[in-house]
């Protein structure tokens, strides 16, 4: 397997194979060094159950004929489901992925220098800051890069570069579909939860919705031996691991989204895993290009008094293939006070500030438990 020069150039320097950092000559990668990562090498803290074509336990929800009971069950049991018949044209999905791949293949230096809000470039972090500014610490470097795209300014924007401008217009169109899908799903969830419709509306902040276009570069060192071992499990609900002198690499390490809900579209590579709380199991989410994956975030969990689950999920690294996914995050209004029986009243602004504080001090997001009443 060889890696092309342009592929290397488009990767953030820390993601390039170590050998190419030493010389700019045409380099043939050493198979013996890099070809030892069969699936069993993938770090897992508990057994991961594979999806196969006959048995795919992730609930499937049909957008065209929404079944509220099925939806309610999916939100309670998984906090994640597959959405089919969403009405987004396949041509748009194909264009979105083709162009995302093209733009992300531009040289790293160019991406870093040329993109500013509303379309900013990030790498190394799932990027929990509102502006998409990365908080990157080597201990929790995620094997990911991409664009953080604010939706509302897109129609007024104009890029001189035709590739970027056509990317912008596709993101704008895709974003409108996401809003349509999100609105319908949220209305159905609000009915199921018997939430006050006025209240629910006030929680929602259509203006601040954003997309994140991710590329998970190929990962040549699944374990890093250049960072100190760390105990990273008290918030992740993993089983304790024996002390190891390396750190597992993740595309995105285990987390819940801070959104109300998130909608994901992924290519055919796979790597997303979801944790099922009742089974205490990780599952591979099967990639399926014509469906969307909807997952509930922390705000929905709080709004539902913990009846709905903010799904824990993570993304594996892959040595052989890059992966593209596009997430749409429906956020709570900055200043709307979220009241529930389980948590102190808080706003999304409070929540975000707390998360940023966590990232700076402990290096990961603690999230909802910090707001829980009685610290149960």
State the residues that interact with ligand AKG by CB under 6 A. 126, 212, 214, 252, 257, 264, 266, 272, 313, 315, 325, 327
Nearest to 126 by CA among 138, 112, 140: 140
Q: Of the candidates 172, 221, 253, 257, which one interacts with Fe ion according to CB under 5 A?
A: 257
Cβ proximity to Fe ion: between 3 and 266 the closer is 266
Shortest Cβ distance from residue 54 to ligand AKG (Å)? 23
Separation of alpha carbons 351 and 161, rounded Å = 38
**Of 315, 252, 267, nearest to 101 (Cα)?**
267
Give the nearest residue (CB) to Fe ion. Answer: 257
C-beta of 20 vs 232, nearer to ligand AKG: 232
- Partner that binds at residue 111, options Fe ion, ligand AKG, none, CB closer than 5 to 8 Å by kind: none
Nearest CB to ligand AKG, comparing residues 42 and 192: 42
Residues of this chain, 152-211, that bind Fe ion according to CB under 5 A: none
Q: Contacts for 109-116 with beta carbons within 8 Å, 24 or more apart?
A: 111/10, 111/145, 115/147
Strands 210-216 and 323-330: antiparallel
- Please identify the residue of the shown chain whose CB is closest to the bound ligand AKG: 325
- C-beta of 134: minimal distance to ligand AKG in Å? 13
Q: How far is the CB of 287 from ligand AKG (least distance, A)?
A: 9
Q: Which does 212 bind (CB under 5 to 8 A by kind): Fe ion, ligand AKG, none?
A: ligand AKG
Query: Considering beta carbons, is residue 185 or 315 the nearer one to ligand AKG?
Result: 315
User: Minimum Å distance from CB 45 to ligand AKG?
Assistant: 17
Both structure tokens of 376: 């149960």
Pairs from 71-77 (Cβ < 8 Å, separation ≥ 24): 71/185, 71/188, 71/189, 71/192, 72/189, 72/192, 75/189, 75/192, 75/296, 75/300, 75/304, 75/307, 75/308, 75/309, 76/307, 76/308, 76/309, 77/276, 77/278, 77/309
Query: In the bound complex, what is the minimum distance in angstroms from residue 225's beta carbon to ligand AKG?
Result: 26
Q: Which does 145 bind (CB under 5 to 8 A by kind): Fe ion, ligand AKG, none?
A: none
Q: How many residues bind Fe ion (CB under 5 A)?
A: 1
Tell me the window of 60-68, 163-171, 250-258, 299-307 that interacts with Fe ion (CB under 5 A): 250-258
The smaller minimum CB distance to ligand AKG, of residues 214 and 218, is found at 214
Answer with the entry of Fe ion, ligand AKG, none that 324 interacts with (C-beta below 5 to 8 A by kind): none
Q: Assign 3-state DSSP to the chain and report helix, strand, coil percentages, each to 5.
A: 35, 20, 45
Nearer to ligand AKG, 190 or 272 (CB): 272
Q: What is each CA distance from 353 to 77, 237, 334, 361, in whole angstroms?
A: 29, 23, 11, 12
Q: Which partner in Fe ion, ligand AKG, none is near 266 (CB below 5 to 8 A by kind)?
A: ligand AKG
CA gap 203, 195 in Å, rounded: 11
Is the CB of 17 or the CB of 287 nearer to ligand AKG? 287
Ranges assigned E (strand) in the chain: 48-49, 60-62, 80-84, 119-123, 145-150, 210-216, 223-224, 247-248, 252-255, 261-266, 272-276, 281-284, 292-296, 313-315, 323-330
Q: Considering the rule CB under 5 A, would residue 354 count as an interface residue with Fe ion?
A: no
Residues at the site binding Fe ion, with contacts judged by CB under 5 A: 257
């Amino acid at each position: 397997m060889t890696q092309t020069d342009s592929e290397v150039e488009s990767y953030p320097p820390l993601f390039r194979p170590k050998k190419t950092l030493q010389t700019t000559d045409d380099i043939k990668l050493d198979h013996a060094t890099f070809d030892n990562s069969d699936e069993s090498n993938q770090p897992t803290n508990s057994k991961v159950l594979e999806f196969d074509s006959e048995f795919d336990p992730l609930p499937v929800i049909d957008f065209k004929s929404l079944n509220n009971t099925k939806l309610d069950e999916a939100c309670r049991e998984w906090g994640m489901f597959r959405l089919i018949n969403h009405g987004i044209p396949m041509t748009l999905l194909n264009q979105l992925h083709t162009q995302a791949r093209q733009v992300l293949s531009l040289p790293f230096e160019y991406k870093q220098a040329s993109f500013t809000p509303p379309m900013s470039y990030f790498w190394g972090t799932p990027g929990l800051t509102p502006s998409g500014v990365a908080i990157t610490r080597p201990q929790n470097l995620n094997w990911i890069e991409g664009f953080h795209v604010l939706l509302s300014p897109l129609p007024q924007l104009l890029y001189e570069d035709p590739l970027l401008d056509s990317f912008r217009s596709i993101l704008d169109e895709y974003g409108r579909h996401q809003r349509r899908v999100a609105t319908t799903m949220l209305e159905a969830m609000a009915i199921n939860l018997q939430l006050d419709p006025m209240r629910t509306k006030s929680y929602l902040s259509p203006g601040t919705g954003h997309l994140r276009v991710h590329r998970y570069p190929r990962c040549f060192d699944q374990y890093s031996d250049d960072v100190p071992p760390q105990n990273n499990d008290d918030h992740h609900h993993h089983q304790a691991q024996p002390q190891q002198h390396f750190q597992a690499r993740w595309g995105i390490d285990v987390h819940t989204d801070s959104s109300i809900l998130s909608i994901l579209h992924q290519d055919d590579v796979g790597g997303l895993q979801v944790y099922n709380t009742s089974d205490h199991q990780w599952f591979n989410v099967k990639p399926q290009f014509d469906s969307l994956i909807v997952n509930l975030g922390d705000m929905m969990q709080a709004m539902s008094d913990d009846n709905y689950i903010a799904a824990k999920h993570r993304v594996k690294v892959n040595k052989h293939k890059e992966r593209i996914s596009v997430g749409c995050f429906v956020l709570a209004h900055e200043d709307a006070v979220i009241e529930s029986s389980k948590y102190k009243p808080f706003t999304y602004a409070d929540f975000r500030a707390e998360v940023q504080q966590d990232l700076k001090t402990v290096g990961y997001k603690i999230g909802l438990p910090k707001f829980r009443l009685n610290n149960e």
